[in-house]
Structure 1
């Protein structure tokens, strides 16, 4: 019997060597050789093609021109003085280049303080006109404050999914909109079981954050595959986050939109929104793959703001660049209190480009995107080619149902024996193409192999900063032994976190759950190693149903503990809750 087992292992090893590892080395060698001839792409994080630079310059020029026209009319209307538009454009471009004003997608939004400073110091306008200038600017919606206060109702749509149609329960999905600190609109969803929660209750709130090239449907594929509904059935408030340009935020791609944007602006906006609208209820963050990276690094950002004196490994210039995007220490402390804990499922801390043929193949997008002047990485289009094209469909199914040579980097077929078409449905419903900048930040991490770095000139490597993570935010990391995108080797970074309690559980069967102990202690970090699980097996499949689902429900309930509202805050906030209901009724009509 042992001889047969060894023969099977040898056969698998040989298949992986010839089908996966040797081709991976060859592709890596080819990429490295080509990159020596055509340099300068990943060193900057984005392909430095002439086309992309021209496009970005055009965006800046158009944004400056639009704002200059608005300011031209505002100044003339309020002061009676005509300031040439070319003069205004020159000043705005100078302010933009110096980083004192920022480009938000294809527009520039100002704050009242920034507009006042520009008017007084750059255009020599008397302070007596400031009130009229600010009022006119609000009316023209060029101020961030006006977007925040004059936005459309938070509730803009609602859907009901009842037991009669889905066979499992009665759910309500409410669609929200909020604006980030950059002034960008971000939309997201809330899903609840209608009879299990009520406004003002003490039940947990969970924000689900999807992974690379995924929208929030990865947590809500169907009635049979829905982590969101499972959590809702447990009486939790479930919020589904979508990155910009994806899911409910589908829209024009910005090539310069990166993972940093999610960390700095988008996820913080959604977290703050849920905290304020629920009258001070914190949230548990649960992210898959890149979603875990975003969740942890968002909180790490706040810790870096509070402990900025410990960033000695950054130069003074790098530190200044980083401080431009970090919140104030007071805001950082408030934000940390909004998070009850973080659960990450297959979220890598570093990448090894030699570990799987997927990584060196993906790296070639660095050059292909330049050749074809792409504004996005065509993930969705490529997945459709391999799953829909008759010539390739059979080959693709054979690969992910048999996992020849470990080519299947998404699932272990053993976890999906009852559903041979799971991957096809997953790719169709949850996968999307992504902005070029977002994709290149991850490709940069793959190429570099030393951790996950910011794309700006701060050169901050988040993977070097885990010792500064807030120790009173409990962390729970899930790893799959067959996950080639986030291998178990990533667990070595856990030693750098400052948490007092650290544990590792190796789980192979339901019986292994008996040895798991989760306590209410805030300062704890637990690594769960799931035997036989691939990257998406951490979301769905036999291992997820038997081991992972019971664990994360136990984790959420335990760290939530006996949390209750501060009744004085709840009383003062009830008016806002009633106003939301009224807004919702108006929106429905």
Structure 2
């Protein structure tokens, strides 16, 4: 060392910087692929030791199954008490409550009555059959029993007629305060077919719409563990306001228990609940309140699964009796769950088209560390006696405490080893706070039932299945989807949830016109053709997009949103109230 120059210590490179100097595939192997296989192997070993894996392929602890039996007991006991008082009042005879409960439990076991979440709701025919055949009550009392049952709202027919009327509240969000535009946000409430209260919102640009105009109606459905704020994070990040600015009537759906429905949390409801009850209620409400205007449904992640499978269910109803891919027992159960054929046809007329953003048909648990890590919920739920999946609490720890906030901000703004599950940092170079803002505002905890349904799909990799006894695999029944409802799927080359491998299911759909577009640059948009054709299915493969990038960021703004506007405008076409009325004559 030359004299007169002080010694300079070389800074040691951090582990992360050393890692980033390696080839990307090597880094991914070290940080993602190998740990993923290790966590999978560890889970399988522990599950076998604990006998936690069931023959049906779903890792659910025995405690969870016992809880379901408790739910059936509780539902039967509740209805038995009501029937006890109805029979006593109308016949002056006491039928022991326990005897009534025993009969109800047997009816549920034999699948002659259906348990909906945590209640048993009878229809008129079922109550008549029980009165005559099971409780042996004289015919002279039947009318009085039916009248009292209707008054106490234990019949489905009474529930539809006597439910509390829908109401709304509204507020104005003005440009003077938000710096963007003038919007009206209306809050609605209705009741589902299983008697649950459900709230949702409508957001419109005050200057762009008028009462009973012919502009498109779009219903936005959030993904797993998300509320509707994912579509309206802020003035900058708001698909809802982007759509409103285009003149669309924009509706925001929240599942029961989250978003504006917070406080009505049911720990045991599943995704099937949203498919069978919650989303259909909102779709039918919008159609009725707007005097017959249909909706285009757009769902991100699980929201797309819910939207598409709701419509698939209605299509399945039309040929249910002749469907040989289902067992006779499965068809019998679905016959009780699905709306009748006439109602299914009416419901289908309310849907103009469906767009799904990153909504998988199946999972591959070895593709990302998050999947096998999530499977451990099975054992954690048992050990910690969880009643819900504490996603909101986990992300609070990631986004609020100062030290952890800085660590996770670094993680969320890098994609070392392809570990970043949420965003591609290259899409958010101008906003390092976005990912944490999204987690803090849009993410919520979810029921165990919903969490286990996702885990079931991850674990077996066979597609998305119902949690009830039908075990209906939606992914393998795409042929039941109505051919005259256009469908648009968005996939990504880098999103582990929605890889292009999902396109293999597209061959089962009955649509006449099918296309696949690979979008790598903005220029590729010029080759996209959306036809004025009802029977079309288009798959879009978007480059370098992570799961939340479908909604926000550079690629969303430059590529995905222009496609969404093009799809909505083309699918809506020349729809008017006048044309719709003429077509129904």
TM-score of the superposed pair, with normalisation by structure 1: 0.90
* Counterpart selection for 1:25 from 22, 37, 43: 37
Separation in 2, partners of 1:395, 1:568: 55
Distance 1:25 1:381 in 2: 27
Partner of 1:412: 424
Whether the aligned pair in 1 keeps the contact of 2:58 and 2:455 (CA below 8 Å) is no
For residues 182 and 278 of structure 1, the distance between their equivalents in structure 2, rounded to whole angstroms, comes to 24
Match of residue 281 from structure 1:
293
Structure 1, unmatched stretches of 5+, are 1-6, 573-589
- Please say if 1:319 is aligned against 2:322: no
Work out whether 1:184 is the aligned partner of 2:183: no
How far apart are the structure 2 equivalents of 1:457 and 1:478?
31
* Structure 2 residue aligned with 1:401: 413
Please report how far the alpha carbon of residue 567 of structure 1 lies from its aligned counterpart in structure 2 after TM superposition.
7.8
Verify the 8 A CA contact 1:78 1:129 in the aligned structure 2: yes
Give the corresponding residue for 1:558: 570
Deviation (angstroms), 1:488: 2.0
Please give the alpha-carbon distance, in whole angstroms, between the structure 2 residues aligned to 1:175 and 1:289. 24
Would the aligned equivalents of 1:345 and 1:477 in 2 still touch at CA under 8 Å?
Answer: yes
* SS of 2:559 mapped into structure 1: helix
Q: Closer, same or farther in 2 for the Cα pair 1:409/1:42, shift >3 Å? A: farther
- 1:116 is aligned, of 124, 128, 150, to 128
- Gap change, CA 1:444 and 1:509, over 3 Å in 2: same
1:460 equivalenced with 2:472 (yes/no): yes
Give the deviation of 1:15 after TM superposition.
Answer: 1.2
8 Å Cα contact 2:485-2:535 kept in structure 1: yes
Question: Following TM superposition, by how much is the alpha carbon of 1:549 offset from its aligned partner in structure 2, in angstroms?
Answer: 1.0
Residue 99 of structure 1 pairs with residue 101 of structure 2: no
Shift of 1:394: 2.6
SS in 2 for 1:529: strand
Residues 489 and 55 of structure 1: CA distance in aligned 2, closer, same or farther (over 3 Å): closer
- C-alpha distance 146-565 of structure 1, shift in aligned 2 (>3 A): same
Matched, 1:69 2:81: yes
Cα pair 1:41 1:366 within 8 Å, conserved: no
Alignment partners' CA distance in 2, 1:352 and 1:265: 29
User: Structure 1 residue 309: deviation in Å?
Assistant: 5.0
546-555 or 62-71: which moved more? 62-71
Give the 3 Å change call, closer, same or farther, for CA 347–567 of structure 1 in structure 2: closer
2-structure distance, mates of 1:132, 1:323: 29
Structure 1 residues 64 and 26: CA distance shift in structure 2, 3 A: same
Q: 2:10: which partner in 1?
A: none
Q: Which residue of 2 aligns with 1:392?
A: 404
Which of 499, 511, 517 does residue 511 from structure 2 map onto?
Answer: 499
Please state how far the C-alpha of 1:402 moved relative to its aligned partner: 1.5
Alignment of 1:185-204 (within 5 A): 185-204=197-216
SS of residue matched to 2:326? coil
Deviation at 1:41, TM superposition (A): 4.1
Corresponding residue of 1:236: 248
Residue 361 (structure 2) aligns with: 349
Q: What is the 5 A alignment of 1:161-172? A: 161-172=173-184
Q: Does 1:223 align with 2:238?
A: no
Q: Does the 8 Å contact 1:253/1:376 carry over to 2?
A: no
2:14 corresponds in structure 1 to none
Point out the more displaced range, 7-16 or 457-466: 7-16
2:485 to 442, 455, 473: 473
Asked if 1:366 is matched to 2:378, the reply is: yes
Find the residue that maps to 2:449 and give its secondary structure: helix
Distance (whole Å) between structure 2 residues aligned to residue 37 and residue 344 of structure 1: 39
Q: TM-score, normalised by structure 2?
A: 0.91
Q: Is the 8 A contact 1:45 1:455 kept in 2?
A: no
Indicate the residue corresponding to 2:318 in structure 1. Answer: 306
Consecutive unaligned residues of structure 2, counting only runs of 5 or more, are 1-18
Taking the aligned partners of 1:43 and 1:195, their CA distance within structure 2 comes to 58
Task: Establish whether residue 530 from structure 1 lines up as the match of residue 557 from structure 2.
Answer: no
Q: 1:67 to 1:469 in 2, by over 3 A?
A: closer
Structure of higher RCO (CA pairs closer than 8 Å, 6+ residues apart): 1
Secondary structure of 1:465 counterpart: helix
Aligned to 1:256: 268
Counterpart contact for 1:45–1:440, Cα < 8 Å: no
